[in-house]
Amino acid sequence: MKKPILTLLAWCLCALPIFAQNFNTAYLTTKIDAQKTANSKDILTTLFRASIDNLLGDDRTYTLNSSFLGFHEIINKKKPLPYSVERKLKQNSFNLGLTGDEEHNITKVSGGFTLTIKNDKDITENKIAPEFAKLRSYAAMISPLLREVRSYLVNAHPLLKNDAVKMQEIIGTWNEASRQHDFSILDNEIKKALKSSTLQQRFLDVNKSFSKEEVETLIAAILNGDDILYDEYQHIANVYAKKLLWTVSPSASYDRIHKQGEYLIATNATFGLWKKSAQKPWEFEMKAQFKIANDSTLVQSNYNDKPLSISIGLNKVLLQNQEKESKMEFKFFTQYNLQLGATPSLQEKDVFTLNATLRINVYKSLWLPVTLKYDAAKGNLLGLFTLTANLSK
Amino acid sequence: MSTITIRGEFLNSDNNWLTLDVYVPNSSGNPYNLTRTYHGSFVEELSGLENDAIYYIDFAGYTTGTVNLTISGEFKLPNPIHETITETGFSRGYTIQTNK
């Protein structure tokens, strides 16, 4: 039985990079996915998730989770999907899992689904208007501004009027600035034009729908080197990444040792706090889970173990890269476990724990979450290590 | 007279917005001024352009998917002009000179 376990381990560590090569990233709103926390991607993967729970313990669980979009991309990767269909496939996922003992025997085989009840994190057409109004307004201002810049250049350098190559050389720096999201590289002649009060006044005379403050803000941002359209787009991605995600996950597993089934239903909800803030977001999380399983201390088959678990917590992004993608997260959560089964042989009726999880992005999509559980009543401290690879782009 | 074609092909997104400006600045003899706004893919065929004349073509907008912008037709090199832009707000300016 060692082979299947080792094979699955290799699968978890190798499968995702292979999927990554197959996946056409142009079909996803990758920037919004990138802004989501690792914590929320653990609830609903955007493509694939592979994990090994209880890494240092005897009973490890190996889980592979795939959204239906991820599965579609493997089977039918060359066929582009309409966005509405792509979004539907992204909303639900399925998972397969194996649990092994210290002898590397497979003790449990499990399968289940994660179904979305509400997911506001991914953009839909009908919800887009308010968030995109500002971006649209900036874009509507930039077009006539570029026209005024050209006009200023031709007035300042009349030879430019008949020199398409030179004009494109200068305006080409605007294109490059927009590509690199860095307007500090603009040609000095464009900067000079933008600083000109004549240009600003002409712009306001011709474009009466914009206020002086709006134009001054736009020009100041450009002269400061900011790509205002890109920055606003990133801001929208950040806003969406903080919206509500609520899922329900039914699953079943087969206990090979006791030769009986186990059944589990879980629900997870998470949303970002302080929606206006673009820096290192906080996330609220609520989980509930009910399981029907066997009391393993009894020899005969039974369904006496019926634990209900409820947890509430806060997740905080500690480190981000320049693209504001999360690189390290800390979660503090309380958990209450209540035994609803008639199980005198099981330990306590209820347990209240204080918990903390530190998630560290060790390499690309590979995360190492370390969880510490503290049993407040008994003063016990328990450490759990998990290895997670969560592919979203 | 010259003809040019401007295409914008939006892929994988319903959330698109683009404004197109084609003009000759500070022109008294041959004023040309086209401003259009689009929410999806478009093709503009502009005929009747002056030969050997300079035209400015500017784009600004956003897409949550991909947009392929192409300018082709009777103008000097580089021709065609093509650019692919993915998931961002963007602005671009191009200068073309029609053939003699």
Token pair listed for B70: 């192409």
Three-state secondary structure of chain B? CEEEEEEEEEECCCCEEEEEEEECCCCCCCCCEEEEEECCCEEEEEEEECCCCEEEEEEEEEEEEEEEEEEEECECCCCCEEEEEEEEEEEEEEEEEECC
pLDDT of res. B30? 59
Distance from CA of A175 to the nearest CA of B (A): 5
Distance from CA of A232 to the nearest CA of B (A): 8
pLDDT of res. A301? 82
In 3D space, the residue among A238, A269, A272, A237 whose CA is nearest the CA of residue A43 turns out to be A269
The rounded distance, in Å, linking the Cα atoms of A392 and A17 is 11
pLDDT of res. A21? 41
The rounded distance, in Å, linking the Cα atoms of A368 and A13 is 13
Q: Which residues of A touch B (CB under 8 A)?
A: 26-27, 29-32, 80, 83-84, 86, 123, 125, 128, 132, 135-136, 138-140, 142-144, 146-147, 150-151, 154-155, 161-162, 164, 167-168, 171, 174-175, 178, 181, 227-230, 232-233
pLDDT of res. A39? 76
> How far is residue A180 from each of residues A29, A31, A81, A231, A274, measured CA to CA in Å?
19, 15, 29, 12, 30
Of residues B56, B89, B95, nearest to A229 (C-beta):
B89
Contact indicator for A173, A191 with CB cutoff of 8 Å: no
pLDDT of res. A23? 40
Q: Which residues of B touch A154 (CB under 8 A)?
A: 25-26
Q: Give the nearest chain B residue to A168 (CA atoms).
A: B95
Q: Which residues of A touch B11 (CB under 8 A)?
A: 26, 80
In 3D space, the residue among A299, A273, A300, A302 whose CA is nearest the CA of residue A285 turns out to be A273
pLDDT of res. A299? 77
Query: Does the beta-carbon distance from A26 to B19 stay under 8 Å?
Result: no
In 3D space, the residue among B12, B2, B14, B3 whose CA is nearest the CA of residue B43 turns out to be B3
Distance from CA of A393 to the nearest CA of B (A): 13
Residue A94, classified by CB atoms within 10 Å of its CB into exposed (0-12), middle (13-18) or buried (19+), is: middle
Contact indicator for A377, A369 with CB cutoff of 8 Å: no
As a residue count, chain A comes to 393
Q: Which residues of A touch B95 (CB under 8 A)?
A: 164, 167-168, 171
pLDDT of res. A366? 78
Query: Does the beta-carbon distance from A86 to B12 stay under 8 Å?
Result: yes
Q: Give the nearest chain B residue to A153 (CA atoms).
A: B25
Q: How many CB atoms lie within 10 A of CB A121?
A: 25
pLDDT of res. A15? 52
Query: Does the beta-carbon distance from A175 to B92 stay under 8 Å?
Result: yes
Q: Along the 393 residues of chain A, how does pLDDT read in single tens digits?
A: 455 455 545 555 555 544 444 443 333 356 566 667 777 777 777 677 777 777 666 677 777 777 787 777 777 766 667 767 777 787 888 888 888 877 777 888 989 998 999 888 776 655 555 678 889 999 999 999 999 999 999 999 999 989 999 999 999 999 999 999 999 999 999 999 999 999 999 999 999 999 999 999 999 999 999 999 999 988 887 787 788 889 999 999 998 888 899 999 999 999 888 755 556 678 899 999 999 998 877 778 888 889 999 999 999 988 887 767 788 999 999 999 999 887 666 567 888 999 999 988 877 777 888 888 888 777 777 777 676 676 654
Q: Residue B37's beta-bridge partner residues?
A: B19
Query: Does the beta-carbon distance from B26 to A125 stay under 8 Å?
Result: no
Q: How many CB atoms lie within 10 A of CB A238?
A: 21
Whether the bond between A4 and the residue before it is cis, its omega within 30 degrees of 0, is no
The rounded distance, in Å, linking the Cα atoms of A354 and A376 is 7
User: Residue A308 is inside which H or E element, if any?
Assistant: strand A307-320
Query: Does the beta-carbon distance from B54 to A167 stay under 8 Å?
Result: yes
Contact indicator for A271, A242 with CB cutoff of 8 Å: yes
In 3D space, the residue among A8, A43, A17 whose CA is nearest the CA of residue A363 turns out to be A17
Read off the DSSP letter of residue A126.
Answer: G
Q: Which residues of A touch B65 (CB under 8 A)?
A: 26, 29, 83
B87 Rama class: left (phi>0) / alpha (psi -120 to 50) / beta: left
Q: Which residues of A touch B88 (CB under 8 A)?
A: 31, 181, 229-230, 233
Query: Does the beta-carbon distance from A144 to B21 stay under 8 Å?
Result: yes
Runs of H (alpha helix) within A196-344: 197-206, 212-223, 228-241
Of residues A86, A132, A154, nearest to B15 (C-beta):
A132
Reported ipTM: 0.95
Residue from B10, B15, B36, B63 whose CB has the most chain A CBs within 10 Å, to mutate: B15
Q: Give the nearest chain B residue to A81 (CA atoms).
A: B12
Q: Whole-model pTM?
A: 0.69
The rounded distance, in Å, linking the Cα atoms of B13 and A124 is 9
As a residue count, chain B comes to 100
Q: Along the 100 residues of chain B, how does pLDDT read in single tens digits?
A: 899 999 999 987 778 899 999 998 665 555 688 999 999 999 999 998 999 999 999 999 998 888 999 999 999 989 999 999 988 899 999 999 999 8
Query: Does the beta-carbon distance from B65 to A151 stay under 8 Å?
Result: no
The rounded distance, in Å, linking the Cα atoms of B58 and A150 is 11
Three-state DSSP class for residue A219: helix
Q: Tell me which amino acid residue B49 is.
A: L
Q: Which residues of A touch B58 (CB under 8 A)?
A: 143, 146-147
